[in-house]
Structures are given as C-alpha cells and as structure tokens.
Structure 1
Amino acid sequence: MNIRSVVRGVGHYLPSRVVENKEFEATLDTSDEWIRSRTGIERRHFAAEGETTSQLAIKAAEQALENAGMSVDQIDAIVVATSTPDYTFPSVATMVQAGLNMRQGFAYDIQAVCAGFVYALANANGLIVSGQAKCVLVIGAETFSRIMDWTDRGTCVLFGDGAGALILEAATGTGTTDDRGVLSTDLHSDGRYRELLYVDGGVSTNGQAGHLRMQGNAVFKHAVTKLAETAHTALEKVGLSGSDVDWLVPHQANLRIITATAERMQLPLERVVLTVQDHGNTSAASIPLALSIGAERGQIKEGDLLVTEAIGGGLAWGSVVLRW
C-alpha cells in the first residue's frame, strides 16, 4: 500500500483594497509603464489597517474547507507558511486553529519567505506519509505591505498581501505517477546569500519589524537558474520531464523570472498559471493563491500534473510535483 497526500480543496482570500500601479506615481519616481515592463505587475491588494495575517489565513482556510466539502473536525494539523506573523509568538497557525474553532490536532508555522509554501507543502506531505496526520490544512498568508520601505521604488511596488489554503488528505495510491497527490518534493537553501534578500529588523537584533531589502538583479539571476533546476530534479525523482507537465504553478514574483523559468523547462506560457499581474508578489501566499485561482478559472483539473516552484530569502528554494 502506498500513501499519497491528495488535494481535497483549495481557497484564497485577498484584502478589499486594490492598489493600481499609478498610485505610486504620486510619491515615487516611477510609472505604471515602468512597473509593468519590468515585473508584469499591474495591481496588488493591501490589507486594511488592523487586518492581520491570521485573519487573511482564516478566511482562505474557510473557503478551502467549503471547497472540499469538509468540516474543521476532519483536520488533524495546520501548517502556515508566513514571514509576516501577527506576533513574535504565538504562531499564526495556532491563531488560525482558534479562529476556525478547531479543538483537536496541532498547528505551527514555517518560515522560508517566498519558498514558504513549497516547504510547508513538503512538510505536510511528510506528516501524512509518516502517519502523524491524515488531513492537513496548508496555508500561505502574508501582509508584506507592513514591511515595505515606501521610499524604495525597487521593492515597494513589487509586493502585495493575501492568503491561499490547500487541504491535503491521505489516500491509497498505486505507487506510480498516475496517482493523485504529491509525487515528489525537492528543497534547498544556502545561507551564504542572506544579503541578497532580507529584512533589516528582528527580535534579537534591533527589536523592530524592519524593512525589506533586496538586490534585485542578483536575486533574478539566482531565481532563473535555481527554479528550473529544482523543478527538473523533482520531476526526475519520479521519472518525469517537462513534457509531462500540464501546469507550471510558479511563485508569482516577476513575469520575467516566470517566463525565463518556463523557457528553461520548455513549457509555453499557455501552460503556466499566472496571477502576478493582479496580486504582485505575495511571498508564501503566492502559490496557494495561484492554485486556488487556477482551479477557480477551470485551468487546473483533476488528474492534471502540476509543478510548483519558488525561491525566497535565505536563499531558500524548492519545488513540488503533484497530480491534482
């Protein structure tokens, strides 16, 4: 008997405030055309004052439960990927657990910045395959607008807020790539590149939340090579290749990175789920948002072979191959 972690439902939530590129023209030396041409981003959502990461996560989780036709009593564990928690502690995941009125199981956060959801998905799969949980709610949720330096035109126009959720449940598979569920995972990190993408604040440094700092060109170069490599590795682990992939669901950071990665995988853009134009970079929320919207649009269908991949501060990167 082969245990697989099968997707039972997806959901997402976006704050009501939509910020178009032109809003930045009043305070920055930038333009809608400049932002679109370099990033592919047209707009993003910002959380309202007082609207927290856990609140976004709870709403995405509720939608995922509804989509799956499941109740919270069926969930054994919650894993939340975030770099913008409500508090230093407790975890966002335990706050989601309380918000859903979930009395059983366990909940915890994972922090791998933009690669967070890939790490969380791999972690949740490990819980299921090892028998520690039968049903796991996996969430990516961020309020990156809270750590922006609004004078830095190279970063503040890139990010947005939002949450996406996915429910994984144990199912019996045949052990072949025809099985539904997670087929392979591939995770990496290299702490030598910390200076390329980081936040200049923290509990044990200056006691402040800090602002995001990024060396954009360097991150771009690492992203294009590392994302294609990890996707190929994850596919090779189960004897598959790019030609077998129905949908690439990448971290939605920058359209140029997404396009370059797809080209290296020999995939046309028609087989890539794109949401970056409407959401900007939502860090750990980006992949589950794209999965939920891709399914909502009717792009992603049961039986489709998907590859998700992401890279973030650390540097941390990785990919997951799954059959929907």
Structure 2
Amino acid sequence: MSITVITGTGCYIPPVIKKNSDFVPGKFYTENQLPINVPMPDVIEKFRLITGIKERRYAADNVSASHMAAQAAKLAIEDAGIDAEQIDQIIVAHNYGDVLHGAIQTDTVPSLASRVKHQLGIRNPNCVPYDILFGCPGWLQGLIQAYSFIKSGMAGTCLVIGAETLSRVVDVHDRDSMIFSDGAGACIIEQKETAQLSGGVLGTCTRSDCMEELNYIHFGSSYAPEKNGDTCFIKMKGRKVYEYALKHVPAAMKACVDKSGVSVKDIKKIFIHQANEKMDEAIVKAFYALYDIEDVPALIMPMCIQWLGNSSVATIPTLYDLVRKGNIDDQQLNPGDIILFASVGAGMNINAVCYKHI
C-alpha cells in the first residue's frame, strides 16, 4: 500500500518585529483619498480587535522571498531526513516574487523555485523547479499539485514552499497595510510504501470565482493623494473578501471532508489561512454549522496571526510547522490525528485538504 505523506516541515520567521504602535506616526486615507480623521491609536485598536494582530514580522533589508524560501526548505529537508538530490519537484508559491528593499518592482525571472534549487545546491537535472501564483491559497494548491503528481507516478518526493515579502508591496497610507507581513514555510511530501501505516492526504477540494470577485484583492494606486498613481500596491476590498470567504469557504471545507470519507467529529485540528482572526473564527463556526454542530470544539483552530500577521502563502505551512514541533502553547499533533487545511485569497480562490497525521 502506498500513502502520500508530509515527512518534514520547516519555516523561516523574519527577525524584524513591527508592532501596532509603530504605525501611530503614520497617516491613513480612504480608498477615495480622503484623510481618516480619527486618532491613529483608535484606528489601530479597532484594527486589533477585528484582526487579532498585535505585531507582525518583516524581512531584514538584505533578505528576499527566495532566501527565506531556501532557509525554510533546508529545515524541511533536514526534518524529513532525505538527500536533497532525490527531490523530484520544487514548487514555490508566492505572489510578488523577489522584491528588493526600497523598491516596488517584482522579480520573477528566473523563477523563485529555480533560485531555491540553486541555493540548495541541487544538481540533479531531473529535479524540476517551478512557481505557482494562486493568491494566499498558493502553498496549499502547491501541496495539492504535488499530491497529484505523486499519485500519478510522475514524482515520488516534492518540496512545497510558500514565501512572501508583503511588507515591500504595501501602501503605508492604507489601513490594510497593517495586516500584511513576511515569512516562509515549507514541507517535504513523499510517497511511502507501507503495510502498517495508513494516513497522509485523504482528499482535496479547490474552487475559483473570477467574475465580479476577480478584483477583491488586486494591485492598485496609493490612497495618498500626493503619491504617484503609476506605482501600485496590494489592495483589498475587505468587506467583499469577508463576505465571499464566509459564504464559500465553509462549503469547500465540508466538500473536502465528505469526499475524504471521515467524520467531522474526528477532526482534531483545522489549519486555516491566517488572514483575520474574527473571519477565521466565523468560517470555522459556519463550517460546523453545516453539520448542525453549534459549539466549535475547543483548541480546534491553532493561530499565529496575533504575532506573525498575514504572510499570505506562508501562513499555513508556518503554523503547521510550529504546531507539529510543539512550538504553539496548548497545541500538539498526535499520530492518527485528522487535520483539515483550508485557505482563501486572491483570484478569488479557495482550497482545502484533509490529511491524516502519521
């Protein structure tokens, strides 16, 4: 019997801490370029109550997304106990490539995956590196893609990474700039032949809505009236994103669980994209409501957004690595635990993976 399992994980948490109070000297504007005439401490406190974010991490000036990706990858490879030369595919999820500190231009040629392969010193020409752009669900979609290649027999070992430096593409005059952060997370996923173990990936689900939802998250001009409109930054229609996520993510999570043939009552942990604390809590509550379960199980949803912010594709693999290695208080994984991964983001895209921990 063959199973497809995650055998190693790693993450890179940047050293630069940006606290909420660091935004007090700034000036925020509305999307109509009108000043927000509310004291900054009040704006920031309201932000904390909604998102749960108290601080976030930014990459050091001399560190790029591909550098963070390679560091997370090294830890995952070491954790899996494999030779990097045996990796068949390197899949790097990101949205903006490498962005130099002080610049806004993205750099994606060569691909970040190729840069990671170079930094890892992998010479095997049969190791294929490529990038995936899928919004915040990119790492999870990379995991789904790796699983598909392994199931088809076209790969045996894949390295899947999510890395981003969102701090370099934010508009400092937009309140939403306080949400975003930097980081990287990685995993090794392999095919294992075993007569004793059962587990690994049990089922997947992906959905995309690209009509009126297309520009809920997009690149746009600064909200500051004095800024050059030709320079673009990450922009988000927060209310639209919230409504979309609450409407569709719980259903996708349920579809994944039902497809996997497990009971919702057997789920031990839900690793959801760390986008917004209140939104994530509402999504999980709505998910259980689809099974007519009113009370969400205690400690079902680990979180790290409070101190790491929203690092897009890096949130889930980073959180999973932290819990897997016992680095989140009151959160742990045990062999046989059923896990549900879920994410939502630009596209608009949604995905979910049901997984049995070994």
Using structure 2 for the length normalisation, give the TM-score: 0.84
Q: Find the counterpart in structure 2 of residue 91 from structure 1.
A: 111
- Structure 2 distance, partners of 1:282, 1:269, is 25
Residues 209 and 131 of structure 1, relative CA distance in 2, 3 Å threshold: farther
- Structure 2 distance, partners of 1:74, 1:303, is 27
1:30 aligns with 2:50: no
- Structure 2 distance, partners of 1:132, 1:243, is 35
Number of paired residues?
Answer: 314
Q: Find the counterpart in structure 1 of residue 30 from structure 2.
A: none
Q: Find the counterpart in structure 2 of residue 183 from structure 1.
A: 202
Give, in angstroms, the shift of residue 16 of structure 1.
0.8
Q: Choose which of 170, 176, 185 in structure 2 pairs with 1:148.
A: 170
Give, in angstroms, the shift of residue 268 of structure 1.
2.8
Write the mapping of 1:1-324 to structure 2, written as runs, cut at 5 A.
1=1, 3-28=2-27, 30-31=40-41, 32-86=44-98, 87-104=107-124, 105-153=127-175, 155-172=176-193, 179-192=198-211, 193-200=213-220, 210-266=232-288, 267-297=296-326, 299-324=332-357
Higher helix share: 1
- Structure 2 distance, partners of 1:313, 1:33, is 26
- Structure 2 distance, partners of 1:100, 1:30, is 44
Letter matched to residue 9 of structure 2: V
* Deviations 1:98-127 (CA, angstroms, capped at 9, x unpaired): 100011211111111111112111001011
- Structure 1 distance, partners of 2:258, 2:239, is 29
Q: Find the counterpart in structure 2 of residue 205 from structure 1.
A: none
Task: Give the number of the structure whose alpha-carbon radius of gyration is greater.
Answer: 2
Q: Which 5+ residue runs of structure 1 have no aligned equivalent?
A: 202-207
Letter matched to residue 14 of structure 1: I
Q: Which 5+ residue runs of structure 2 have no aligned equivalent?
A: 28-38, 99-106, 222-229, 289-295
The question of whether the paired residues in 2 share the 8 Å contact of 1:262 and 1:269 is answered with: no
Instruction: Return 184-193 or 237-246, whichever deviates more.
Output: 237-246
Give, in angstroms, the shift of residue 269 of structure 1.
4.8
The question of whether the paired residues in 2 share the 8 Å contact of 1:35 and 1:42 is answered with: no
The question of whether the paired residues in 2 share the 8 Å contact of 1:94 and 1:108 is answered with: yes
Coordinate RMSD, CA, aligned:
1.8
Letter matched to residue 189 of structure 1: S
- Structure 2 distance, partners of 1:93, 1:242, is 36
DSSP 3-state at the match of 1:287: helix
Residues 269 and 198 of structure 1, relative CA distance in 2, 3 Å threshold: farther
- Structure 1 distance, partners of 2:275, 2:159, is 24
- Structure 1 distance, partners of 2:249, 2:40, is 29
- Structure 1 distance, partners of 2:5, 2:218, is 34
**Identity level (%):** 33
- Structure 2 distance, partners of 1:209, 1:234, is 40
DSSP 3-state at the match of 2:339: strand
